[in-house]
Structure 1
Amino acid sequence: MANPPKDTYFESGSLAKPPRFNADNFSLWKSRMELFLSGSDPQIPYFLEHGPYVPTSIIPDVAATTTSPAVPERSFVKLVSNWTDEDKCLVNVDTKARSLIAMSLPDEGVDALIDSRKIHLILQYEKFITAKGETLAQTHQRFNCLLIDLKTYDVIYSNLQVITKFMEALPENWENYTMCLKMSKDIKTITLSELYGMMLNHEQTKSLKTNLISDTKDATKGTLTRDGSYHGLTGLRVRHGLEAIRLFLAYAAHMKFQVFQMDVKSAFLNGKLTEEVYVAQPPGFIDPKHPDHVYKLNKALYGLKQAPRAWYETLSTYLISEGFTRGKIDNTLFVKNYKDHVFLAQIYVDDIIFGSTKAKLCKKFESLMRAEYEMSMMGELTYFLGLQLKQSEKGIFISQGKYVREMLAKFELTTCSEMKTPMAPPLKLDKDSNGKPVDVTLYRGMIGSLLYLTASRPDSMYATCLCARYQADPKESHMKAVKLIFRYLKGTPNLGLWYPRDSGFDLTAFLDSDFAGCKIDRKSITGGCQLLGGKLVSWTSKKQNSVSTSTAEAEYVAAGSCCAQVLWMRNQLLDYGFQLSKIPIYCDNTSAIAIANNPVLHSKTKHIEIRYHFIRDHVMNGDVELHFVPTEYINSLISSPNRWTRNGSTNSSAS
């Protein structure tokens, strides 16, 4: 049998081998190559068109979630042991296609192709980083695929190089973890899969960071000074109000008993957790054998959000078992009656203030608490939550004089001139768009300090709240108004609240409004204060939510807000044994009083929001009564700076 004519494209002279590539006539070589490949296997042209085949599978961890989109092209490469029969068949066809293409190329062409692909993969490895929005699982999968591709070209990196490269490719939020890992563990012995497992466990476990917290407390701020330290969680804080504390002090002044304070040592460690909480190992105490492990908390820890609640439940259970009654409205108030005497304790996290009409009951309570917890008796209450208290036979005086002086020194205003009022009467602030900007951080710091001061200084309430509206973009005009408040405080550092012991305990309220007081949106300002027998306990100064069309409407809306606060205080007083009705609320607008007493809707009042009409129900039920009082008898300082009189419940010293 004669041999077929020798062709320049079939140098071997055999039909079993592909035509050898010749750059002189590419079109002819391409057509013959396509015929050859189709005859070898019909599936080969598909692989040449769509690229090489790699068996892959989608892992649920890298599928679409609520926080990260799906990335189908980044599926995990299957292990050879997990290949199906179809995978094996397709891999064989793909390998055959690559081999035939390589056989058709000259030796120098094959080497160049291999070198080009190898260089491309090496560059990918050197520049490898986590893509934007990519999860840890997706990054690991992509890095693992790259290592497999490099291995096919005999590019193999050491285990240390692989581990180091992967950690360097991670985003900044992994920097602390990888640094601790390098310092506490020999990473030469860790494989990539082990590292990924440790990091995945760290990512999925929502552990909280711990920090070493000093346990030294300042006695000048109402807390015990003692040396020591403990571990607490960082970044978790709890905020509380002071109205319940002022009400407690007003009751103590009325009942003419002294108030004492106790501190519970390591209070939160006595609380029992009902949830599973894990925390990271504290710095300096990392287990070298298990640096990736976390601690499971069996008891509450300082800084944990659940800690105050866990401690409160533990303490309240103990007090109730000892015969105390927990307040139905104020759950931090505990009362115990002894025939003609009463004992009260107010819980504020790990601080307890208490008092009784009989001194022996205070000693008994101290012994009761020491029997169960490690306590520190701090004696007569003089400082509490930043408030300075002075108890005398005539009453209780509350002030923040020390804080005022510290605040003036902090902002370098100790030498400023004094003012008689916190604002100049004609002053009305606006955005002042053309004004010169000032330091935003400084302005906000000054406002924050002033807001803290309003815990005992209602006289600065309106001016402070007015200036606080411009914290986003403060100008020189706003800073000037803030400094006026500081100048006023410079002249009245010791002004405070005076709770006399012989002034009764009747609940009364006063309200006022500044019609269209805001120059920007023309909304009115609500001002109100509530007193117990002349003891100022609660006050407010707030811009109304809607625009009022008349002074009567503004006063009526203010009356609704004041009524809500009065009802809250009435409910609070139920825990103290007081049942009040027909509580007087004083207003200087007869039209607003008429609207509250008449349930008929008029054309000028029908647009008022329904929630403000609830005062009518309470007027009809006899819970509150509205009375007219001339304007000059109302302390308008918390609703307007234009009419300033000093209320009888404030005093500059305890007399």
Structure 2
Amino acid sequence: MEQPPGYIDPCFPDHVCQLKKALYGLKQAPRAWFQRLSSFLTHLGFSCSRADPSLFIFHKQSDIIYLLLYVNDIIITGNNSSLLDSFTCKLNSEFATKDLGSLSYFLGLEASSTSDGLCISQLKYARDILSRAQLLDSKLVHTPMVVSQHLSVDGPLFSDLTLYRSLVGALQYLTITRPDIAYAVNSVSQYLHAPTEDHFLAVKRVLRYVKGTLHFGLTFHPSSSPGAFVAYSDADWAGCLDTRRLTSGYSIYLGNNFVSWSAKKQPTVSRSSCEFEYCALASTAAELVWLTHLLRNLQVSIPQQPLLLCDNKSALFLSSNPVSHKRAKHVELDYHFLHELVVAGKLRTQHVPSHLQVADIFTKSIPRPLFEFFRSNPTLSLRGGVEDIVEDITP
């Protein structure tokens, strides 16, 4: 580090300072802190997860401790209370820490235990966004986006770029517990460089929808068996009016718990419905593989192969029979790892009717009845679980 102004040694003005301890705010400080903490945890018998570097796992016989780290915020849980107390004492003796008790608030996420399980929401954070936008008294809407609306770069530019970008950035963090606004936020995020008046109106509609659904969040239900992964994959062909690129989306359930979702514009232009659905399937398969590795690190065994559902029969046929014809020979090779997973028996693919395709909520703006059906019935269960729907659509 260069000598700071006012403290330069007159005898050695060209010398530099050698740091003995990383200073808060320097570029290398986070890495130095992570290395310091991870070495301490490794010495105690923890191992770093390969699926998530911020997750540390202690497993000895039947005792398990999970430690999740975000900079200097830590969540600790396990199945042995005495072992947890012992580890907490060792952590306190090594670092200046503060025990905040049971998990209730973490990085803007509010966690509360209910009779059904664990509920995670962002009520306070959502209210802060509405207050910043001065929309606390706004009129409510029932959907986050106008039906069949496709935003474009055309139109008069919005005057306050800072306001637009700050609101969209805040909404992006809100999607951690609000998957129902993921597609709308993804759409308005594509115009941060030059937002128009129409784009800001779309942002205000998302906020008005959030105003009426402040208490929404995610609930995770406990189960003696984790169940199997069931994933829905879908894509909207050429949904972007400016680039003609598709928007793909997926929703993944572990048993009856909603664990992962995505709404993303793809980097390439597809030439057929088979191609864009196949690309969306490959993206969903990659997420399933990662989740499988993560659960394996958590010492959780999955009893069945993950099931991947899609409403396009051509893409499903291509996943199990990679015939080289004019509709598929131009598809990038990296997408074909989906076929390898199916052939190896690590993944199952199956058709799902379009009216039960819950991933539609992540690829397009849909009418209110269908939107509320997908939102209030995330597992598409008419009788009790994802398994019932799978049985209904099994030929």
TM-score category of the 2 structures, normalised to the smaller one: 0.7 to 0.9
Residue equivalent to 2:222: 501
Q: How many residues align?
A: 369
Opposite residue 465 of structure 1, the aligned amino acid is N
Residue equivalent to 1:463: 184
Give 1 or 2 for the bigger CA radius of gyration. Answer: 1
Q: 1:600 aligns with which of 323, 326, 351?
A: 323
Residue equivalent to 1:638: 362
Opposite residue 151 of structure 2, the aligned amino acid is L
Secondary structure of the residue aligned to 2:101 is strand
Opposite residue 412 of structure 1, the aligned amino acid is Q
Residue equivalent to 1:556: 278
Residue equivalent to 1:473: 194
Q: 2:54 aligns with which of 316, 319, 332?
A: 332
Secondary structure of the residue aligned to 1:646 is helix
Q: Verify: 1:619 aligned to 2:348, yes or no.
A: no
Q: Contact between 2:342 and 2:348, CA under 8 Å: does it hold in 1?
A: yes
User: Deviation digits for residues 73-101 of structure 1, max 9, x if unmatched?
Assistant: xxxxxxxxxxxxxxxxxxxxxxxxxxxxx
Q: Verify: 1:574 aligned to 2:296, yes or no.
A: yes
User: Deviation digits for residues 240-299 of structure 1, max 9, x if unmatched?
Assistant: xxxxxxxxxxxxxxxxxxxxxxxxxxxxxxxxxxxxxx15548xxx54876967643111
Q: Please report how far the alpha carbon of residue 628 of structure 1 lies from its aligned counterpart in structure 2 after TM superposition.
A: 1.3
User: Deviation digits for residues 411-466 of structure 1, max 9, x if unmatched?
Assistant: 11111100111001131211224x36432222222211211211211111111111
Residue equivalent to 1:343: 65
Aligned mates of 1:467, 1:325 — CA distance in 2: 40
Q: Contact between 2:309 and 2:351, CA under 8 Å: does it hold in 1?
A: yes
Percent identity reads 36
Opposite residue 336 of structure 1, the aligned amino acid is F
Opposite residue 447 of structure 1, the aligned amino acid is V
In structure 2, the CA distance between the partners of 1:382 and 1:621, relative to structure 1 (3 Å rule), is same
Aligned mates of 2:195, 2:34 — CA distance in 1: 42
In structure 2, the CA distance between the partners of 1:309 and 1:436, relative to structure 1 (3 Å rule), is closer
Structure with higher helix content:
1
In structure 2, the CA distance between the partners of 1:392 and 1:338, relative to structure 1 (3 Å rule), is farther
Q: Verify: 1:484 aligned to 2:223, yes or no.
A: no
Aligned mates of 1:503, 1:595 — CA distance in 2: 36
Aligned mates of 2:331, 2:376 — CA distance in 1: 32
Q: Verify: 1:444 aligned to 2:162, yes or no.
A: no
Aligned mates of 1:415, 1:294 — CA distance in 2: 57
Secondary structure of the residue aligned to 2:375 is coil
Secondary structure of the residue aligned to 2:69 is strand
Secondary structure of the residue aligned to 1:310 is helix
State which drifts further: 293-302 or 593-602. Answer: 293-302
In structure 2, the CA distance between the partners of 1:332 and 1:439, relative to structure 1 (3 Å rule), is closer
Residue equivalent to 1:299: 21
Q: 2:254 aligns with which of 518, 527, 532?
A: 532
Opposite residue 584 of structure 1, the aligned amino acid is L
- The higher-RCO structure (CA 8 Å, 6+ apart) is 2
Secondary structure of the residue aligned to 1:448 is helix
Q: 1:586 aligns with which of 297, 309, 327?
A: 309
User: Deviation digits for residues 390-419 of structure 1, max 9, x if unmatched?
Assistant: 124531111111111111111111111001
Q: Contact between 2:220 and 2:257, CA under 8 Å: does it hold in 1?
A: yes
State which drifts further: 337-346 or 562-571. Answer: 337-346
Q: Verify: 1:313 aligned to 2:35, yes or no.
A: yes
Residue equivalent to 2:389: none
* Structure 1: gaps of 5 or more residues: 1-277, 651-655
Residue equivalent to 2:232: 510
Aligned mates of 2:349, 2:80 — CA distance in 1: 38
Q: Contact between 2:67 and 2:76, CA under 8 Å: does it hold in 1?
A: yes
In structure 2, the CA distance between the partners of 1:460 and 1:587, relative to structure 1 (3 Å rule), is same
Aligned mates of 2:257, 2:38 — CA distance in 1: 29
User: Deviation digits for residues 278-326 of structure 1, max 9, x if unmatched?
Assistant: 15548xxx54876967643111121222222222222222222222233
Aligned mates of 2:174, 2:299 — CA distance in 1: 31
In structure 2, the CA distance between the partners of 1:437 and 1:369, relative to structure 1 (3 Å rule), is closer
Secondary structure of the residue aligned to 1:577 is coil
In structure 2, the CA distance between the partners of 1:279 and 1:399, relative to structure 1 (3 Å rule), is farther
User: Deviation digits for residues 551-586 of structure 1, max 9, x if unmatched?
Assistant: 222211100111111111111222112355621111
Secondary structure of the residue aligned to 2:99 is strand
Opposite residue 370 of structure 1, the aligned amino acid is N
Aligned mates of 1:646, 1:449 — CA distance in 2: 22
Aligned mates of 1:561, 1:337 — CA distance in 2: 31
Secondary structure of the residue aligned to 1:377 is coil
Aligned mates of 1:536, 1:313 — CA distance in 2: 33
Q: Please report how far the alpha carbon of residue 517 of structure 1 lies from its aligned counterpart in structure 2 after TM superposition.
A: 0.9
Aligned mates of 1:280, 1:382 — CA distance in 2: 44
User: Deviation digits for residues 497-549 of structure 1, max 9, x if unmatched?
Assistant: 11111384232211111122111222211001222222222211111222222
Q: Contact between 1:503 and 1:533, CA under 8 Å: does it hold in 2?
A: no
In structure 2, the CA distance between the partners of 1:377 and 1:280, relative to structure 1 (3 Å rule), is farther
TM-score, normalization by structure 2: 0.87
Secondary structure of the residue aligned to 2:68 is strand
Secondary structure of the residue aligned to 1:303 is coil
Q: Contact between 1:438 and 1:479, CA under 8 Å: does it hold in 2?
A: no
1:125-524 pair list within 5 angstroms: 278=1, 280-281=3-4, 286-287=6-7, 295-433=17-155, 435=156, 437-502=158-223, 504-505=225-226, 506-524=228-246
In structure 2, the CA distance between the partners of 1:289 and 1:544, relative to structure 1 (3 Å rule), is closer
Q: Contact between 1:330 and 1:575, CA under 8 Å: does it hold in 2?
A: no
In structure 2, the CA distance between the partners of 1:280 and 1:447, relative to structure 1 (3 Å rule), is farther
Q: Please report how far the alpha carbon of residue 472 of structure 1 lies from its aligned counterpart in structure 2 after TM superposition.
A: 2.3
Q: Please report how far the alpha carbon of residue 490 of structure 1 lies from its aligned counterpart in structure 2 after TM superposition.
A: 0.7
Q: Contact between 2:229 and 2:305, CA under 8 Å: does it hold in 1?
A: no
In structure 2, the CA distance between the partners of 1:535 and 1:312, relative to structure 1 (3 Å rule), is same
Aligned mates of 2:355, 2:176 — CA distance in 1: 25
CA-based RMSD: 2.3
Q: Please report how far the alpha carbon of residue 610 of structure 1 lies from its aligned counterpart in structure 2 after TM superposition.
A: 1.6
Q: Contact between 1:499 and 1:649, CA under 8 Å: does it hold in 2?
A: no
State which drifts further: 420-429 or 319-328. Answer: 319-328
Aligned mates of 1:396, 1:649 — CA distance in 2: 16
Aligned mates of 2:89, 2:115 — CA distance in 1: 26
Opposite residue 278 of structure 2, the aligned amino acid is Y
* Structure 2: gaps of 5 or more residues: 380-395
Aligned mates of 1:541, 1:279 — CA distance in 2: 46
